[in-house]
Amino acid sequence: HSTLQYLQLSNCNYFQYHLILRTLPNLKTFVIDCFQLENANETINSVQKYERLTSLTISKCNLLMEHFRLVLTTVPSLTYLKLMSTRSVYGPVFNGSFWEEFIQIGFPQLKTFEFRFTYPIRDNGIVHSVNSIIASFRTSFWLQDKRWFTICDHFIKSKQIAVYTKSICVNQDGPLIRCEAVPVSSVCRLIENSNDIETTTLMTLNFSECHIDKQVIQDLADALSDDITIKTLDLHDSRLKNDMLQNLIDLLSKCTQLTTLHLGNNQLGPLGVQHLATLLQSNLTIETLHVPFNSIRNDGIRYIIETLEDNKTLTTLNLQFTEIEDSGMQYIASMFMCSTTLQSLNLSNNYFGVTATQYLSDALKQNNTLITLDLSGNNLGIKGAEFLADALPYTTTLITLNISKTQVLDQGSQAIAIALLSNTSLKSLDLRGNSIEEPGAQKFISLLRQNRRLLSLNLRENRIDTLLLYNTEMMHSE
């Protein structure tokens, strides 16, 4: 008989597993990197036990549950067992009660059990929250008798659930919801990376480009029941549907310290905007609100602006690509006129034109807080530029103005140039892509000679001779 006591193999199938254990009766430690079943008929219904083997490690094993049982029941004398398995669906291996019964009956000498089981979260699948999964590992068998402490992680970006013992190292980036079964604490909490061991309160939650589904909502509800100190929440491009958004808003209403919210590119329609308005109504501490690339439109902007009337903290509002027309701009101008905190307003690439620019210009004359204004990509035209020029001498805080690609043409740009002679605050002006010709550029050269406050001027993508553009930029850099 062979005296070999330790064996490690890269690959092993079910037949080889039995053959090795039969031919190596003194084997005590068996390490298998990848255990595979060649075909469904390969299993051997053997009652033979291999009593000498005390340590078994299988690093990759995707066997069906009945085959799992057949493999393990042949080695009842194990004192050490380590299993790593990626499952296709939720099943018994994620249930602490299953393992508790299985070990008590079949492995009375087992002292150490290490494992990591994972499965993907499928769309429209049954929700098994991390809290409900970990609950089965909180019995006295796990926590007191064996002291095998277990963790359940929900990896948001990769849509994966992982259940593993604390001794297993798991490295995966991205936000996750973690639930632990340990004697000290068993609460769900939000953490930034899988290797975070600190229990520091998470202030920023980045779910951008994640798919927010029922599983996320349920686990987030459990996590937020004890952790409501989130200040920044990024949900842009999260494929939020109206029903998911409503559930999410209900949860976020607890986050009374939320100051920054990103909801861009989520195809929010009228109903979604109403849900957002509900959140803004209950949270008066929002400082930064980003909702670009959503079909908010005129009615939607009315909902948002009405709920922001009592907000005394909003400093940044991004409404880029939200399909706002002239009538919708009345609501924004009304808020803008009365705001004592708003510093940055992005209205680029919407559907408004001259009338909306007049509303905004009238409000701009009375506002003394705005620092940055982006109107690029809208149809201001010559008349809109003239309305804006009329307001510029009254603005004392505006530092950055972007009116690129707004069709102001030569005449509109000249009106802006003349108005800037009476403006004391503007330092950066973007006029790219406005079909400005050399007479308009010459006006700005004259302006630069008289107004040294303007530090940045962009006239690219216009109908200007390259040499003249170069001279304009050189004068600006002096």
Q: Which of 236, 305, 298, 232 is nearest to 265 (CA)?
A: 236
What contacts 445, CB < 8 A, 6 or more positions away? 471, 472, 475
Q: What are phi and psi of 375, to 5 degrees?
A: -115, 15
Return d(Cα 277, Cα 186) in angstroms, integer. 35
pLDDT digits (tens, 9 = 90+) for 300-344: 999 999 888 878 899 999 999 999 999 999 999 998 888 889 999
Residue 81: HSE in the Cβ half-sphere, 13 Å Cα cutoff: 22
Give every CB contact of residue 452 below 8 A, 6+ residues apart in sequence: none
Distance CA 169, CA 476 (A): 57
Residue 404 has what pLDDT?
Answer: 98
CATH class of 204-477: alpha beta
Domain chopping of the chain, boundaries: 6-148, 204-477
Question: Which one-letter amino acid corresponds to residue 105?
Answer: I
What does the DSSP 8-state code read for residue 126? P
Cα gap 402→426, rounded to integer Å: 11
pLDDT band at 109 (very low <50, low <70, confident <90, very high): very high
> Is the separation of the CB atoms in 251 and 223 below 8 Å?
no
235 SS3 class: coil
**What is the C-alpha separation between 316 and 346, in angstroms, rounded?**
8
Pairing of strands 80-86, 372-374: unpaired
Closest CA to 456 of 478, 430, 424: 430
The CA radius of gyration of the chain, in Å to the nearest whole number, is 32
How many Cα atoms are found within 13 Å in the side-chain-facing hemisphere of 262? 15
Q: Identify the weakest region by mean pLDDT among 193-202, 217-226, 392-401, 448-457.
A: 193-202
Q: How far apart are CA 424 and CA 397, in angstroms?
A: 9
Cα 8 to the chain's mean position, in Å?
Answer: 41
476 Cα distance to chain centroid:
41
pLDDT digits (tens, 9 = 90+) for 68-77: 888 899 999 9
3-class state of residue 223 by DSSP: helix
Q: How far apart are CA 397 and CA 76, in angstroms?
A: 78
pLDDT over 90 (residue 370): yes
153: left (phi over 0), alpha (psi -120 to 50) or beta: beta
pTM here is 0.83
Closest CA to 194 of 234, 158, 145, 146: 158
pLDDT at res. 152: 92
Q: Where are the alpha helices (DSSP H) in 151-255?
A: 214-224, 242-252
Distance of CA 80 to the CA centre of its chain: 39
Alpha-carbon span 305 to 326, nearest angstrom: 15
pLDDT digits (tens, 9 = 90+) for 140-191: 999 999 999 999 999 988 899 999 998 887 766 667 788 887 665 667 777 7
Q: Count the neighbouring beta carbons within 10 Å of the beta carbon of residue 166.
A: 14
Q: Determine phi and psi for 55, rounding to 5 degrees.
A: -135, 125
Q: What is the mean pLDDT of the chain?
A: 87
Position 471 pLDDT exceeds 80 = no
- HSE value, Cβ hemisphere, 13 Å, CA-based, for 133: 30
86: three-class secondary structure by DSSP: strand
- pLDDT for residue 358 is more than 90: yes
Separation of alpha carbons 369 and 7, rounded Å: 73
CA torsion through residues 52, 57, 61, 65, sign: positive
What span, in angstroms and rounded, lies between the C-alpha atoms of 96 and 99?
Answer: 5
The residue count for the chain? 478
Cβ 211 vs Cβ 238: under 8 Å: yes
Those residues whose C-beta lies under 8 Å from the C-beta of residue 227, and which sit 6 or more positions away, are 189, 190, 201, 202
Residue 301 has which token pair?
A: 């902007």
Higher pLDDT, 288 or 273: 288
Q: Which pair of structure tokens corresponds to residue 144? A: 């007191």
Tell me what the mean pLDDT of segment 342-351 comes to.
Answer: 97
At 80 the pLDDT is 98
Q: Read off the tokens for 393.
A: 């001498």
Q: What are phi and psi of 324, to 5 degrees?
A: -80, 135
DSSP character for 25?
A: T
User: Residue 285 to residues 232, 251, 315, 417: CA-CA distances in angstroms?
Assistant: 12, 16, 11, 39
